[in-house]
Amino acid sequence: MSIYGRARVKVPASTANLGPGFDTLGMALPLYAWIEMEEAEETVFHLYGDEMNGVAQDKSNLLYKVAQMVFAEAGVTVPELSISMYSEIPLTRGLGSSASAIIGGMAAANTMIGSPLDNAKLFDMATQLEKHPDNVGASLFGGIITAVWDGEHADYVRLEPPQNLEVLVVIPEFELETTKARGLLPTEISVSDAVYNISRTSLLTASLASGRLDLLSRAMQDRLHQPYRAPLIPGMEKLLAEAPEHGALGIALSGAGPTLLCLVDRQETRKSELEAFLKNTMQEHGISARTCWLTPCASGVTTELLEINEMQNVSFLDMIKGVRS
């Protein structure tokens, strides 16, 4: 009989970079993955939702692997797991699907064994795996985070999202592997480009912290990664150049893409115009895409420890039905 409880977690999606803050700035978004994990006689997966198509259902699964990292760090052995997951986060679209799986899997495993590891440790472990702290930090802590990583430890500051800030994403119907998008980046940059991005990252962080939304259009400009990734995403150059003319406060590639993200004032009167501009531009370049209005997510991963075989627990399937309805 298992000595451990059954853990259930809810973890948000995220966007990274926000333009100039390459590998340092992240924001949580209210698209979620739900994960349930418990000890089992043999490892089995129950994956639900269209976003789970093609995900591994053996011990090569990322959830299983990060759970084992947590167990090893905590000095416990749980070789066989029952893992259930439902996600509404699109895979390989620049919305932090891998980061949410890493944080969700780690948080579930840690909760299952009594939470011996604190969030600082989980953040370091997740960043070591992801190699940058922006997405995992946003999914773990919620809100907007600015973070640094020295190869061993990640430090961060969390910002509360401005109340009037909304997010409009346009999600092309094709996948873009992060490794491919990173492979296009130069190994060296000029001093002028470095100063360009440092100044705008500083201005962007200060603008978000102070609520100066009027500065976002200039603050979200970038020379480090977006110009090099634009050829992978038809229409991206036009969207970056012209979205502010249609009501966006600022626009950026979300993570490695192909999703693009507009920050919008809640009081903006041209929301329909902006949404139509994003869709039409994609259509002009032969790309099917969908749009989605979101608000920054203030909460990071949430965890719950369920008693094994407790009758009053809502089943995972019933929970999913409630989410979908």
Ligand-binding annotation for 91, yes or no, is: yes
Looking up tokens 């039905």 gives: 321
Are 49 and 88 contacting, i.e. CB atoms less than 8 angstroms apart?
A: yes
Handedness of CA 36, 38, 41, 42 (dihedral sign): positive
Ligand-binding annotation for 62, yes or no, is: no
Ligand-binding annotation for 100, yes or no, is: yes
Ligand-binding annotation for 272, yes or no, is: no
Give the Cα separation of 268 and 249 in Å (integer): 9
Task: Please give the biggest Cα pair distance in the chain.
Answer: 63
Give the Cα separation of 253 and 164 in Å (integer): 21
Ligand-binding annotation for 82, yes or no, is: no
Three-state SS across 193-233?
Answer: HHHHHHHHHHHHHHHHHHCCHHHHHHHCCCCCCHHHHHHHC
Ligand-binding annotation for 49, yes or no, is: no
Residue in 25, 20, 23, 22 with CA at minimum distance from that of residue 197:
20
- To the nearest 5 percent, what fractions of the chain are helix, strand and coil? 40, 25, 35
Ligand-binding annotation for 260, yes or no, is: no
| Enclosing H/E stretch for 14 | strand 6-16
- Tokens of residue 288, six digits: 């099917």
Ligand-binding annotation for 18, yes or no, is: no
Give the Cα separation of 71 and 110 in Å (integer): 8
Are 14 and 26 contacting, i.e. CB atoms less than 8 angstroms apart?
A: yes
AA identity, residue 117: L
DSSP class per residue in 297-324: -----EEEEEPTT-TTSPPHHHHHHHHH
Ligand-binding annotation for 223, yes or no, is: no
Positions at the binding site for ATP: 90-100
Positions at the binding site: 90-100
